[in-house]
Amino acid sequence: METLVLKVDKSPQGEKALDKAAEIIKDGGLVAFPTETVYGLGGDAKNPRSSKRIYKAKGRPSDNPLIVHIANMSQLEEIVEEVPEVARILADNFWPGPLTMILKKNKVVPKQTTGGLDTVAIRMPSDEIARELIIRSDCMIAAPSANVSGKPSPTLASHVYKDLSGKIDAVLDGGAAIIGLESTIIDLTSDIPTILRPGAITKNMLEQVIGRVDIDPSILEKKEADKPKAPGMRYKHYAPKAELTIVEGNSSKVVAYINSQVRENDNKGINTGIIATSENANKYIGGNVKEVGSAADEEGIAHNLYNILREFDDTDVSVIYSESFDGDGIRAAVMNRLLKAAGYKVVSADRVAIKRIIFVGKNGSSRSPMAASIFESLDEDKDYEVLARGLLVQFPEPLNPKTEAVLAGNGIEIEEFSATQLSDDDINSSTIIFAMEETLRSKVLEGYEKANEDNTFTLSSYVGGELEIPNPYGGDLQLYGLCYEVLKDTLTKLIDLLKQER
Ligand code: TXA
Ligand code: MG
């Protein structure tokens, strides 16, 4: 089947396009059309054959009900058992618009359209083209989002064409869908009206006109839920081809975390995509960065999200990291879709646990082993692997005798020690490096690919200490003793800090 692309605008051609599309619907055919939320794939809601064709074109399970799109209140009366007062209030306030209500259906709607349920989802869209199509076809239009099942909903006619060309009769091209996320769905058949899918009409907006509104608990969960009430919310959805991970946490840590992943992936020859807010976009050191909008402009983010997910499908990235958009109102809707797109894969940048600590000194035989062994003696929980390394290790020198003496005097014994040169192989994404002096830190940053501003620090400044750790090399035993005391004090503070950051 050839799929017609019909441009709609105010011109006479636009008028003809609408008439043609209306005719196709009337004849039992399928037309994708723009709405204010996303593009829908429409057929005559009263014609069971049209509904069957919709399921087939989308590759959608036939137990997943369609939304019936109407243009006036008498069409609502025509298909439901009764119109409860709360539905009238909601219609007065939010229709036409991005709100779908679930009500008890009557016999006018075939079960094919409602996936076998005795309830029906109904929406009166505000988009002019959608409304005209309903009116001119003289039909109520059953329409799911016009994507192949599982993909992000289409916000442009080109998205629809990519997914469904050859499978449907026509696409009405009316430009970008303004909102970019599917409608809010509210179930009015339960005792307390319940949101089954968050959208641009928020819980707060609904509660202002009808009082208490609940949210289907499966929406709030950050993991795969057993039984969401809207059948469609059960399926894997919105997913780009690449593996998507959401990174939560303090903004600068999120950037640092994603940058460390980009660096690691670059080394492995893997291309990384990044979904970034405008505020952070230029802080990324590499990767394929796509700006989703300003963090303050939640509507902009909603509008852009699906398009960006689809754009990544046309690139060679195989992993994508997204900043997190948790929050109220439409942010809740954005986050709900993003979580599903990510298959609920979320990591916290604040809590990337440090597993390995490397103390770095100059020759690696006095201060760094001293620091490592003191740290181990203080860290009761034994949460870390602790290494001592040097930057100028010519040969595997034994432990400096004065270091050994001072440690022994404090009840610490080191067995089988030989100095080891720091190597990039020592450093991974859960490593933190502490240099004994600022100059050593600079050398680590210069000389090691895997060392960076986010994992390499000067020990004393990391804990907020004013003094650098004294260099006892060539000094007397007393100086080694002083070094021990300063280290012990500094490392006690360090352990506290690391505990807090966990
Ligand atoms: O914004 C929108 O709602 C778009 C545009 C085209 O109107 N449509 C849309 O349809 O998103 P669709 O089919 O992709 O999503 C409809 C959701 C599905 O999760 C479906 O399971 C749920 O609504 N749904 C439909 N009828 C239902 C019913 N009777 N009870 C519970 N959930 C229902
Ligand atoms: Mg859909």
- pLDDT for 74-103, tens place per residue? 999 999 999 999 999 999 999 999 999 999
CB atoms within 10 A of CB 394: 9
d(CA 434, CA 357) in angstroms, rounded, equals 8
- pLDDT for 4-21, tens place per residue? 999 998 888 889 999 999
**How far, in Å, are 281, 312, 345 from residue 275 at the CA level?**
8, 10, 15
Query: Which residue has a Cα nearest atom 3 of ligand 1?
Result: 183
Closest ligand 1 atom to the C-alpha of 179?
1
- Contact status, residue 31 vs residue 24, Cβ threshold 8 Å: yes
| Tokens found for residue 254 | 């999120």
At residue 371 the predicted structure's pLDDT band, cuts being 50, 70 and 90, is very high
What is the Å distance from ligand 2's center to 182 Cα? 8
Instruction: Determine whether the shortest distance from the Cβ of 119 to ligand 1 is under 6 A.
Output: yes
49-53, 116-120, 351-355: which range is least confident on average? Answer: 351-355
Q: What is the mean pLDDT of residues 416-435?
A: 94
What is the Å distance from ligand 1's center to 61 Cα? 13
At residue 206 the predicted structure's pLDDT band, cuts being 50, 70 and 90, is very high
At residue 344 the predicted structure's pLDDT band, cuts being 50, 70 and 90, is confident
Instruction: Determine whether the shortest distance from the Cβ of 205 to ligand 1 is under 6 A.
Output: no
- pLDDT for 131-159, tens place per residue? 999 999 999 999 999 999 989 999 999 99
Instruction: Determine whether the shortest distance from the Cβ of 276 to ligand 1 is under 6 A.
Output: no
d(CA 227, CA 234) in angstroms, rounded, equals 7
What is the Å distance from ligand 2's center to 343 Cα? 16
Whether the predicted pLDDT of 419 surpasses 70: yes
Whether the predicted pLDDT of 121 surpasses 70: yes
Whether the predicted pLDDT of 234 surpasses 70: no
What is the Å distance from ligand 2's center to 64 Cα? 10
Q: What is the mean pLDDT of residues 412-431?
A: 93
Whether the predicted pLDDT of 169 surpasses 70: yes
Instruction: Determine whether the shortest distance from the Cβ of 66 to ligand 1 is under 6 A.
Output: yes
295-304, 352-361, 406-415: which range is least confident on average? Answer: 352-361
Instruction: Determine whether the shortest distance from the Cβ of 183 to ligand 1 is under 6 A.
Output: yes
